[in-house]
Structure 1
Amino acid sequence: MSEPQRQHPVAAITKALDIIRGNFITILILIFIGGGDQAVFTLYWILGTIVALLVWGVISWLRFSFQVEEGELRIEQGVLIRKKLYLTSDRIQVIDISAGIVQRLFGLVAVEVKTAGSSSKEAKISALTQSKAEELKEKLRHGQAPQAVQEAEDEEEKKFVKKYTLDTKDLLIAATTSGRMGVALSVVGAIFSQIDQLISEEQMYQLIETHIPRSTSLSLVIMSAIAILVVAWMLSFVSTIIAYYDFEVEVRDNELLIGRGLFERTQLTIPFNRIQAVQVKEELMRQPLGYVSLVIESAGYGDSQGNSATLFPLIKKGDMYTFLEEVIPEYNYTINDGYQRVPRRALRRYLLRMLWWTLPVILLAWGTVPYGYYAWLLLVPAMLLGYQQYRDAGIRNEDGTLVLSSRLLSKKTAIVKKYRTQATIIKQNPFQRRLNLHDFTVHVASGNQGRSFGVRDLADDTVYEFWQWMEVSEKVSTDPQKNNENGYMPPIEG
């Protein structure tokens, strides 16, 4: 690949689609606003824009070239302004291969390359054959000559250890119990906020009176809430199916290959030496059924939005330990017992936090929604959730590994290697000082911005014990009074 090369011509279409996707909300707004006498004009405007984008895509394809020279990926692109991007192989962190709908129609894939560091750069080659993509990946990762690529591919086949897949039954359970309801609810709320663009209030009331003539105001409010929840659940169900369709994890000697997606097939390669932590998530709806999901935190690796990589979206809690032992045994630790829990005096803080978060919602509903005084009933589940947060919070260490358990809505257990932590932070506000409590947080590298795990309102002696274990310093004592006498205190935020 020493000579400059072009992408497959399909890249012209993918470029136009990327622009449409980036301005999708704007296009929808123009479609909804356009109507009546302006409908024909709006149609011509949309068709003209699509043609212009396709022409722009063709020009972008002609002006895009790439080559690998001396272990360096060199890309030249730009229609009006010519840009040159050079990515050296020693700084490349991520090489992802994906295939959207258009690429899959033509048997092509896209290659995305990202570098490390605060000034990270990324480059995307939108349309290559699978063989060229694999060749490019091997050259950037290992700096191999073209004649050695086939030997490297043969060697990769020998490194294959095992493959795990998500069957249809578990995929449906994962979609049914998905934790994406919150995101789906926000989408539904945004849609309903714009409903007046499609139907007037008079038409809405007429529709209600015609089809629900006997409904009372209270039943209407209840039915509306149920309808919103059902629509949000359906969106959550469909999005989960699309995201985790044909999910598979391939275990090799030195890395994991994670593939998933219905419309856009993505393949993420994660070297074992880049894994920083593992999260075990017990979603609110899955926990009673005994299911968990596993997430990997890895340096420089994640999806296109910078989120953590899903190691497995749904697995029985009892089978999780066998899976971890076979895939990443370094992180196979029990998550059920052995914790040092938060003291009982911290319970009031967990309950008060839920009170302060719930109270604005209750007051808003009380003042604006018919029968809004029923919102005070939200205090019951809020207090129960606060109590469960208190029960689930804990921390323990074993064999150089830190295990932290906490809950917001879903219970999350982080398994972190001590040597992988980049920072340890202790926080204490004035209210915690009166109760001799601290927040304890560790930070690891993950994606581009890192990830933090913590436990709130731990007792002082517990915090100093784990601080001492993290620091391995003779200066630090589990007794705060001795730390004061020795003139040593860990940095405390707050």
Structure 2
Amino acid sequence: MMSEKNRLHWVTAVIELLKTLKEAIIPLLVIVVANGIGRERSGNFWLDNLTILIFGAFVVFTAVAGFVKWKRFVYWFEDGELRIEHGLFVKKKRYIPFERIQSVDYTEGIFHRPFGLVKVKIETAGNSSVLEGAEADLTAVTRAEADRVSSVISEAKRRRRAGVQEVQEDGTEAVAVLPAEEPEEEAKVLFRMGRKEIFLLATFSGRIGIIFSGIAIFLSQFADILPFDVIYDEVVAFIRFGVFMVAVAVLAVMLVGWVLSVAWTYLGFYGFTVSFDGDDLFISRGLLEKKRVTVPLKRIQAVRVSENPFQKLLGYVSVKVHSAGGSAKEGGAAIGLFPLVKKREVNGLLSELFPDIETSGELKRIPVKSRPFYYRLDFIWVIPLTAASGYFLFPYGLLALLIIPLIILLGLWQHRSAGWAVRDRQLTVRWRDFTLHTVYVFRKRVQSMQEHQTIFQRRRNVATVTAAFKSGVMPSKAPIRHIDEADADLLMDWYDPRNRAQTPASVEGTPAAEGE
């Protein structure tokens, strides 16, 4: 049955115009500033105002393109599909079967909220291109219409799951929908992030570096017109005031960057809420731009719990889930489930969300004989670097020798923190770079498992096993480094389908010192 064809809200044309202008703002500013400031007037109107005319023509063209998209874009439901038609000179049609749709996400931008509108993003199981975004975007529709689209898709999928196969007279099978309809289960709120956690998240995050990098990239666009000679002279004159003034200036700049980082994080994670209804996860967040992401539980491949030293001091961890499918452009691979949560609460939250997961068992330690492997390879680049520094920068270059004990201590820390365990169908892997990571993944979600052994490892009868699981469009890996050969073979046997009946239900050992 075909439903009525629907159009997007007229705000779509405005949003498309502003979106294109935002993406082209830096090149346009460079053109206007570089060719319009300090240029001598020739008396020719067209030549003197060329950059303004180019800018105006671009704006007009973009506005017309946005209007055409709004006017020619229609969508409707027909024969169990969401159908979309758009285009002026080249008419394009897209048919998306309901059973392929994995998630329906909402976004409320600053231009949506005054009109009570949302952007609806529809993703499917086959929507996995690195360059593509969502399978379909409804740029601006009312919230009631968005809920109607979501409910139609959800109801069709639910009725299909509730259907039974009937054999028709011609021998083909058809789905017969059961007349009884069960009410949909309401989403249960599992987690809310408070203001304190948002503030701490901003402090722990690396967004201050992104802010400074963005400023540097922006300034680099004006390298041809900035008076660097004058700026250099001013900086030299400022440095002459003394080290104290320079330190105060640096601290002031860092403070401004930190304030901007906190504001950015607060706006992005305000009202962060996780809820679920048994089949899907719903993650909502944002103040100026509200977003709601839907993650089907069946697409989740692994759970990663991370803890850096700063989080450990305050008793917090962060949790991400790795989801199959989605688009890399939308960041659909590793999804922040709990960006910052109390460590004592995380096991309870995970067990409520994933009842089959085991998070409290002990892990098997890495053997003592493997300890040198955790820092030996770093000496390949550290020793030549320290030697060159000591020779060319003598005597201050000798301070580079302090790197060697630091690397040894880091390697010992990584060795002491690492561990692993297999329990029936679940693999648990813990390792540390600077942050401690613990991954929980079920055997059926492991895409591949590889055993690797170098000539040096062979001498000590150790090997490295790497488990790969799907994360978006690319695999993610959990390394189990420098374990006994027998344990490596046991892991490979545990994964091998031919040997699963003979594999021990669990392998446990001395607990890894996760907090050290």
Q: CA separation in 2, counterparts of 1:68 and 1:314?
A: 40
Q: CA separation in 1, counterparts of 2:206 and 2:456?
A: 33
Letter paired with 2:346: M
| Residue number in structure 1 paired with 2:108 | 99
8 A contact 2:430–2:436 mirrored in 1: yes
Normalized against structure 2, the TM-score is what? 0.78
Q: CA separation in 2, counterparts of 1:230 and 1:366?
A: 35
| Residue number in structure 1 paired with 2:289 | 264
Q: Residue 372 of structure 2: which of 345, 348, 356 is its match?
A: 348
| Aligned CA distance change for structure 1 residues 178 and 27 (closer, same or farther; 3 Å) | same
8 A contact 1:246–1:261 mirrored in 2: yes
Q: CA separation in 1, counterparts of 2:254 and 2:180?
A: 51
Q: Residue 165 of structure 1: which of 178, 182, 192 is its match?
A: 192
How far residue 259 of structure 1 moved from its aligned partner, in angstroms, is 0.5
| Residue number in structure 1 paired with 2:69 | 60
Q: CA separation in 1, counterparts of 2:251 and 2:402?
A: 17
Letter paired with 2:155: H
- Structure 2: runs of 5 or more not aligned: 40-47, 160-178, 504-516
8 A contact 1:354–1:382 mirrored in 2: yes
How far residue 442 of structure 1 moved from its aligned partner, in angstroms, is 1.8
How far residue 291 of structure 1 moved from its aligned partner, in angstroms, is 0.7
How far residue 26 of structure 1 moved from its aligned partner, in angstroms, is 3.3
* Matched-pair identity in %: 30
Q: Residue 349 of structure 2: which of 323, 328, 349 is its match?
A: 323
Q: Residue deviations 1:407-427, cap 9 Å, x none?
A: 223111111112222222222
Q: CA separation in 1, counterparts of 2:225 and 2:331?
A: 32
Q: Residue deviations 1:54-109, cap 9 Å, x none?
A: 22101111121111211112112224432222211222223222122211222111
How far residue 403 of structure 1 moved from its aligned partner, in angstroms, is 0.8
| Aligned CA distance change for structure 1 residues 118 and 171 (closer, same or farther; 3 Å) | closer
Match status 1:176 vs 2:189: no
- Structure 1: runs of 5 or more not aligned: 479-494
Letter paired with 1:308: A
Larger Rg: 2
1:54-93 paired onto structure 2 within 5 Å: 54-93=63-102
How far residue 347 of structure 1 moved from its aligned partner, in angstroms, is 2.9
8 A contact 2:323–2:332 mirrored in 1: no
Letter paired with 1:140: I
8 A contact 1:246–1:262 mirrored in 2: yes
86-95 or 404-413: bigger deviation = 86-95
How far residue 169 of structure 1 moved from its aligned partner, in angstroms, is 1.1
How far residue 224 of structure 1 moved from its aligned partner, in angstroms, is 8.8
Q: CA separation in 2, counterparts of 1:282 and 1:56?
A: 47
Q: CA separation in 2, counterparts of 1:317 and 1:255?
A: 24
Structure 1 counterpart SS, 2:310: coil
How far residue 162 of structure 1 moved from its aligned partner, in angstroms, is 3.1
| Residue number in structure 1 paired with 2:176 | none
Letter paired with 1:207: E
| Aligned CA distance change for structure 1 residues 227 and 36 (closer, same or farther; 3 Å) | same
Q: Which has the higher contact order (CA 8 A, sep 6+)?
A: 2
| Aligned CA distance change for structure 1 residues 243 and 432 (closer, same or farther; 3 Å) | farther
Q: Residue deviations 1:301-348, cap 9 Å, x none?
A: 5781233111111111112122223333333512xx722233334333
| Aligned CA distance change for structure 1 residues 320 and 378 (closer, same or farther; 3 Å) | same
| Aligned CA distance change for structure 1 residues 298 and 119 (closer, same or farther; 3 Å) | closer
| Residue number in structure 1 paired with 2:174 | none
How far residue 10 of structure 1 moved from its aligned partner, in angstroms, is 0.8
Q: Residue deviations 1:243-300, cap 9 Å, x none?
A: 3121001232332211112332211122333322111011342122221011112222
| Aligned CA distance change for structure 1 residues 145 and 399 (closer, same or farther; 3 Å) | closer
Relative to its length, the structure with more helix (as a share) is 1
8 A contact 2:324–2:333 mirrored in 1: no
| Aligned CA distance change for structure 1 residues 452 and 309 (closer, same or farther; 3 Å) | same
| Aligned CA distance change for structure 1 residues 475 and 56 (closer, same or farther; 3 Å) | closer
| Residue number in structure 2 paired with 1:447 | 472
1:1-80 paired onto structure 2 within 5 Å: 2-27=3-28, 29-30=30-31, 33-34=34-35, 36-37=37-38, 42-80=51-89
| Aligned CA distance change for structure 1 residues 286 and 68 (closer, same or farther; 3 Å) | same
| Aligned CA distance change for structure 1 residues 29 and 416 (closer, same or farther; 3 Å) | farther
Letter paired with 2:374: Y
Letter paired with 1:462: D
Letter paired with 1:309: I
8 A contact 1:94–1:300 mirrored in 2: no
Q: CA separation in 1, counterparts of 2:33 and 2:455?
A: 52
How far residue 404 of structure 1 moved from its aligned partner, in angstroms, is 0.6
- Superposed CA RMSD: 4.0
| Residue number in structure 2 paired with 1:314 | 340
Q: Residue deviations 1:439-479, cap 9 Å, x none?
A: 2222223323343222222232221121222225449999x
Normalized against structure 1, the TM-score is what? 0.81
Letter paired with 1:460: E
Q: CA separation in 2, counterparts of 1:408 and 1:261?
A: 31
| Residue number in structure 2 paired with 1:133 | 146
135-144 or 391-400: bigger deviation = 135-144
How far residue 391 of structure 1 moved from its aligned partner, in angstroms, is 2.2
| Residue number in structure 2 paired with 1:484 | none
8 A contact 1:301–1:446 mirrored in 2: no
| Residue number in structure 2 paired with 1:485 | none
Q: CA separation in 1, counterparts of 2:403 and 2:200?
A: 28
8 A contact 1:179–1:283 mirrored in 2: no
Match status 1:422 vs 2:440: no
Letter paired with 1:401: Q
Q: CA separation in 2, counterparts of 1:391 and 1:331?
A: 24
Q: CA separation in 1, counterparts of 2:28 and 2:391?
A: 36
Structure 1 counterpart SS, 2:375: helix
Q: CA separation in 2, counterparts of 1:86 and 1:442?
A: 37
350-359 or 404-413: bigger deviation = 350-359
Structure 2 counterpart SS, 1:8: coil
8 A contact 2:333–2:473 mirrored in 1: no
Letter paired with 1:162: V
Q: CA separation in 2, counterparts of 1:362 and 1:36?
A: 50
8 A contact 2:192–2:271 mirrored in 1: yes
| Residue number in structure 1 paired with 2:183 | 155
Letter paired with 2:467: V
105-114 or 465-474: bigger deviation = 465-474
| Aligned CA distance change for structure 1 residues 196 and 328 (closer, same or farther; 3 Å) | same
